[in-house]
Amino acid sequence: MNYFLGIEVVQLENGIFISKKQYTEIVLRRFGMTDCNVVSTPIATGVKVDQDRSGKQRESEIAGLQTYTDSDYAGDFDNKKSTSGYAFVLNCGAVAWASKKQPIVTLSTKEPEFVAATTCACQLIWMKKILKTIGHEEEECSVMYCDNNSTVKLSRNPVMRS
């Protein structure tokens, strides 16, 4: 595997390295900056610097993974299938997202939301494993944001799923 979701992945004996070199070069060409001066990163990567209330600069940790999911109900007029979508946000930037037609026809507005939440939960487990692999393991449970109260209640109560 060389590229995954637009990110270059290089596997060497001493580790796996990821970069967006190709995308960066495209952006530099687009804005006419291919001859700009190269500067090394002045701080450790993965660390954000902000100011506290007194105005002193301090390092802040990487923000946790936030997950959002949603769907429509019978959005495809031809076959009445719904569309699922999700987005993963890390440090205020989307790192993964998808929108896909569901493989089944649902009978209520609750069902496509539950299918979307289930798909998102599977991807969330995968994403947490990837983050752990690259050294960003999260200790706390992840929260998935869903805008349908019935789906949230169904997810929390296993008796309702029978």
pLDDT class for 76, splitting at 50, 70, 90?
confident
Average pLDDT over the chain, rounded to whole?
A: 79
Domain identity same for 77 and 152: yes
Is 108 inside any structural domain?
Answer: yes
- 74 and 151 share a domain? yes
Taking 60 as the threshold, does the pLDDT of residue 57 lie above it?
no
Q: Per the domain annotation, does 56 fall within a domain?
A: no
Question: How many Cα atoms are found within 13 Å in the side-chain-facing hemisphere of 116?
Answer: 32
Same domain assignment for residues 30 and 77: no
89 and 145 assigned to the same domain? yes
Q: For residues 105 and 80, is the Cβ–Cβ distance under 8 A?
A: yes
In the predicted structure, residue 38 carries a pLDDT above the cut 60: yes
In a domain, 119, yes or no: yes
In a domain, 105, yes or no: yes
Q: Let me know whether 69 and 140 are in one domain.
A: yes
CB half-sphere exposure, 23, CA atoms < 13 A: 9
Q: Which amino acid is at 85?
A: G
Are 79 and 120 part of one and the same domain? Answer: yes
Q: 128 is in which domain, residue-wise?
A: 65-161
Mean pLDDT comparison of 7-11, 43-47, 54-58, 110-114, highest-scoring range: 110-114
Per-residue model confidence as pLDDT tens digits over 128-143:
888 888 888 887 888 8
158 vs 20 pLDDT, higher one: 20
Instruction: Tell me, yes or no, whether 125 lies in a domain.
Output: yes
Residues 79, 9 share a domain: no
The residue-averaged pLDDT of 43-53 equals 55
Name 65's Cβ contacts closer than 8 Å, sequence gap at least 6: 88, 89, 90, 124, 127, 128, 131, 138, 142
State the DSSP H helix or E strand holding residue 67, giving kind and residue range, or none if neither.
Answer: strand 65-71
Exposure string for 8-24, b = 16+ CB within 10 A, e = fewer: eeeeeeeeeeeeeeeee
Number of compact structural domains in the chain: 2
In the numeric block, which tokens belong to residue 110? 């609750």
